[in-house]
Structure 1
Amino acid sequence: MHRRPLFAHVSAHVLALATALLCAGAAQAQDKVTFATNWKAQAAHGGFYQAVADGTYKKFGLDVTIQQGGPQVNNRPLLPAGRIDFLMTGNLLHSFDNVKNKVPTVVVAAMFQKDPQALMAHPGQGYEKFENLKNAPLALIAKDGQFSWWQWLKVTHGFKDEALKPYNYNLAPFLANPKAIQQGYSVAEPIYIENQGKFKPVVHLLADHGFSTYSTLIEARTDTVKNKPELVQRFVDASAIGWVNYLYGNRKAASALMIKDNPEMSEAEMEASVALMKGQGIVDSGEAASNGVGAMSAARIKDFYEQMVKAGLYKAGEVDLSQVATLQFVNKKVGQDIKAKLGAK
C-alpha cells in the first residue's frame, strides 16, 4: 500500500495551523470603532451604512458600530468624553462653537459638499426666483435656524423678521398657506410635501446662494488625530468609498440596515432621497468631484466663517480656524476609481 510520507502530514497540519493563526490574527486586528450620527438612520447617512453592509470598513480593518441619534438622543457630548470615536455633525457652525468653547475635537472630513438646508415654497406663487422669497408674508423657521442661518439671510439677502413664525416640524401650516415659505432638509421634506400635499415644492438650497458651509462632517477627538492618525485615515477612506458605493452601486443591503435601525423609513423614501442628493450635488460636487468624497479646503472654511462674522454670529478672530479642521486625511481622490467603474450615473 502506498503511504504518504509523515512529513507531508506534518507539513499540511502546520500549514493549516498557520493559516488558522493568520485568520485569527486578522480577526483580532479589527479595530473596534463607534461612530455616532446626529439623527435617526436615513438616506443622508447612507454611505456609512453602506460601508458596514458591504464590508468596506472590515476591509480597512475596522469593526464599526453606528450609533444613531434622534430627538431624545444627543450624541455630541459623547465624543469629547471618549464614549464614541467619531461623530457625524451637521455643519461648520458646530465646529466653530467647539473651537470657541475649547472642546477638543476637530473635523477630519466633510461628506457633503453642500448643506441640504433649504427654503421651500408652493409652485406658481412667484417664488421660483430665490430673491422673491424675502417678500413672503410667512416664513416658518425653527428656533435654531432663526438664530443661525436666518441671520445670514437677513444680512446677505434682505430677509425680515416680520415674516417669522416658528416651524414645529409639522407641515400642515405650510400646506394650508400657498404664500408661505418654510425651511426644510432638501433631501427629505420635499418628499413628505409631495406625499402629503400632492405637489412638488419649489426648493432653494441655501448652498446655491452663498451659504458655503460643508455638511455631514466627521469629527474626531484631537488626541485621536494625534495618536492614531492611521486609524482616522482608514475610517475616512472607508467612509468615502462607502458613499461612492451607496450613490452609484447596489445599496439594498445598506437600506435594510437603516430600516432595521429606523423602521419609520422605507426603501422607496430612501431611493427618492438618493435621487435628490444626486440631483442637487449634495455629496459629489465642488471639491469632491475632483478630490474625492470628503474633500475640504481651508479657503472655503475661512469664507464661511467670514460670512458668519458679517451675520453677527461670531466676532472676527474669535475662532482659531486652524483648529477647526485638518486636511491631512482628505483630498486624496479616494473612491474616484470605483466611481469611474460604476459609471457614476
Structure 2
Amino acid sequence: MTMAPGRREVLGGLAAAFVGGGTARAAGAPLTLLTNWCAQAEHGGFYQAQASGLYAKAGLNVNLRMGGPQVNAMQLLLAGQCDLALLQPEEAIRAGMRGLPAVAVATTFQKGLAGIMTHPDIHDPGQLRGHPIFISAEGRSSFWPWLKARYGFTDDQAHPYTFNLQPFMFNPQAAMQAFVSSETYAARKQNVPFNFYLLSDLGYPTYGNVLLASRSALQTRKDEIAAFLAASSEGWLQYIYGNGQDGDRAILAANAHMTSDQLAFSRATLKRIAALGTNGASILSMTDAHWMDIHKTLLQSGLITDDPRWRDGYTLSFNGALTARVPS
C-alpha cells in the first residue's frame, strides 16, 4: 500500500481546479469506494458487508473498486470517479490546508499497520542507527521524519522500498518498512527470522485506511454515505470478530493473487493488535484528540505548516451513524 509517485505535486496542481465541490457523479450511480490496493484482508469489512448483504439491506448499491500503486486515489476522488476513497490521514490534513474538496468521514483502523521489520539481532529500533532502511515514498512523507527525530536516523540511511523481501533477506544489516498483516506473513512463509516494531506501539499517532469523501458526494449523497458507513461498521465487526468467510470469498474472487492462508493470517493479526479499537470502541469512528495528535506530529516533523484550515480535512458528523462496537 503505497502512494503513487508525485502525489503531493498532483495535489498542489489540483487545488485550484477543484476548489469548489469537486465533480459530481451521475444521479443513480452506485456508491463507489476506491480502495488503496488490490483486494485483501485490510479491506475485508467492506467486502464482508457487500457479500453478506449488509449494503443491500440498507438499500445501497455499492461498487468496491480496487486501487493499487499506480492509482492516484485523491485525483480520482476529486474528479468524481468515486464517492469515497481509502487514503491516509496525512492526505486528509493536506487536503484541508489546500482547500481541496475532500473530507475524512471515518477510519478503518484506529492505528497504522506500518512498522519496521528488522533482523533478529535488533532488539530496539534505536540500534538501527547507521543501518540501511528500506522506506517507501509514502513513508518518507509521513513517518520517516518522526523516526529520524526519535531515534537519530539520517536521510542517507533511507533506501527505496521495492515491495519484496529480497533486499532485506540478503543484507543482514538492513531493515525495512513493513505492514504487520502483510510482509510479516511473507517472511514467515519463507522462513525468514525477524523482529517487528509497529509504529503505533512506538508512539507514532495515526489512523489507518481513512475514508475520504468528496464534498460533492457529501452534498448530494450524505444519507447514503451515513448508511454505507453504518453497514461497513457491521461488516468489519463480522469480518474480524465473527465469521468472515463471505468477505474472504469475495476477496479471493476479486484478487487472484490472494490466498485463504494469507487472509486467515491477516484477519488474526488485525484482531490481535486491536486494529478496530479497544473493547467497546465504536468501529470506524474518529476523535478530535487523535486528529490533533496526528497534526501535531506532522507539524513537529516539518511536513506541514501551521495552517488552521487543516481541520477542514475531516468531520466527526458521521460518528453517530456507526452502529457496531468492538466486542468486550
TM interval, short-chain normalised: 0.7 to 0.9
Alpha-carbon distance in 2 for matches of 1:200, 1:110: 32
Question: Equivalents in 2 of 1:331, 1:122: separation in Å?
Answer: 44
* Unpaired segments ≥5 residues, structure 1: 1-29
Q: Show the counterpart of 1:165.
A: 159
Q: Of 84, 91, 96, which aligns to 1:94? A: 91
Letter in 2 for 1:326: T
Instruction: Provide the rounded CA distance (Å) in 2 between the counterparts of 1:233 and 1:165.
Output: 42
Deviates more, 1:37-46 or 1:321-330: 321-330
Q: What residue in structure 2 maps to residue 83 of structure 1?
A: 81
Residue number in structure 2 paired with 1:14: none
User: In structure 1, how many angstroms separate the alpha carbons of the residues matched to 2:277 and 2:193?
Assistant: 24
Taking a change above 3 Å as real, the CA distance of residues 256 and 302 of structure 1, as seen in their structure-2 partners, is same
TM-score by length of 1: 0.82
Q: For residue 8 of structure 1, what is the aligned residue in structure 2?
A: none
2:134 pairs with 1:128: no
Deviations along 1:233-257, whole A, 9 cap, x unmatched?
1011111111000001222221121
Shift of 1:231: 1.5
Aligned match for 2:206, one of 213, 216, 222: 213
Counterpart residue type for residue 321 of structure 1: W
Distance, in Å, in 2 between the alignment partners of 1:291 and 1:271 is 23
| Cα distance change on mapping 1:52 and 1:314 into 2, 3 Å | same
Task: Give the match for residue 140 of structure 2.
Answer: 146
- What is the CA distance between 1:331 and its match in structure 2? 5.5
SS at match of 1:107: strand
Inter-partner Cα distance in structure 2 for 1:72 and 1:163: 26
Mapped partners of 1:333, 1:230: distance in 2? 13
* TM-fit CA distance, 1:306: 1.2
1:261 aligns with 2:254: yes
Distance 2:229 2:180 in 1: 25
Task: Please give the root-mean-square deviation of Cα atoms over the aligned residues, in Å.
Answer: 1.9
Q: Which amino acid letter does the alignment assign opposite residue 300 of structure 1?
A: H
Q: 1:211 is paired with a residue of what secondary structure?
A: coil
Which residue is 2:16 aligned to?
none
Indicate whether 1:327 and 2:316 are aligned.
yes
Structure 1 residue 195 corresponds to structure 2 residue 192: no
Find 1:186's aligned residue among 174, 180, 185: 180
User: What is the alpha-carbon distance in structure 1 between the residues aligned to residue 131 and residue 249 of structure 2?
Assistant: 42
| Separation (CA, whole Å) in 2 of partners of 1:222 and 1:312 | 28
Matches within 5 A, 1:49-68: 49-68=47-66
Q: Which has the higher helix share?
A: 1
Specify the alignment match of 1:7 in structure 2. none
The CA distance in 1 between the partners of 2:270 and 2:144, in whole Å, is 23
For residues 219 and 275 of structure 1, what CA distance do their matches in structure 2 show?
26
Superposed counterparts of 1:297-308, under 5 Å: 297-308=287-298
Q: 3-state DSSP class of the match of 1:320? A: helix
Q: Residue 55 of structure 2 contacts residue 62 of structure 2 at CA under 8 Å; is this kept in 1? A: yes
The answer to whether the aligner puts 1:41 opposite 2:34 as a matched pair is no
Report how far residue 97 of structure 1 moved.
2.0
Please say which structure displays the higher CA radius of gyration. Answer: 1
Amino acid at match of 2:96: V
Aligned to 2:100: 103
Q: Percent identity?
A: 31
- Which one of 237, 240, 243 corresponds to residue 244 of structure 1? 237
Find out whether 1:271 has 2:255 as its counterpart. Answer: no
**For 2:250 and 2:98, how far apart are their aligned partners in 1?**
36
- Pick closer, same or farther for the CA change 1:166–1:58 going to 2, 3 Å: same
Deviation at 1:333, TM superposition (A): 5.8
Deviation track 1:282-321 (CA, whole Å, cap 9, x = no partner) reads 2233xxx43411111112111111111111101112x513
Give the length in aligned residue pairs: 301
**Displacement, 1:210?**
2.1
Q: Any idea what SS the aligned residue of 1:169 has? A: coil
Change in Cα spacing, 1:66 to 1:309, as seen in structure 2 (3 Å) is: same
Question: C-alpha separation between the residues in 1 aligned to 2:286 and 2:135?
Answer: 29
Contact residue 230 and residue 322 of structure 2 kept, 8 A? no
Distance in 2 (alpha carbons) for counterparts of 1:83 and 1:73: 12
Alpha-carbon shift at residue 111 of structure 1 (Å): 1.2
User: Given that residues 95 and 102 in structure 2 are in contact (C-alpha distance below 8 angstroms), is that contact kept between their aligned partners in structure 1?
Assistant: yes
Contact 1:291–1:332 at 8 Å: present in 2 too? no
* 1:182 Cα deviation from its structure 2 partner: 0.7
- What is the CA deviation profile of residues 76-134 of structure 1, one whole-angstrom value per residue up to 9, with x for unaligned ones? 32222222111111x211112212232201011011001111101112x1x2223333x
Cα distance in structure 2, aligned partners of 1:140 and 1:195:
20
Find 2:303's aligned residue among 302, 313, 319.
313
* TM-score normalised according to structure 2 size: 0.86
Q: Is the 8 A contact 1:111 1:216 kept in 2?
A: yes
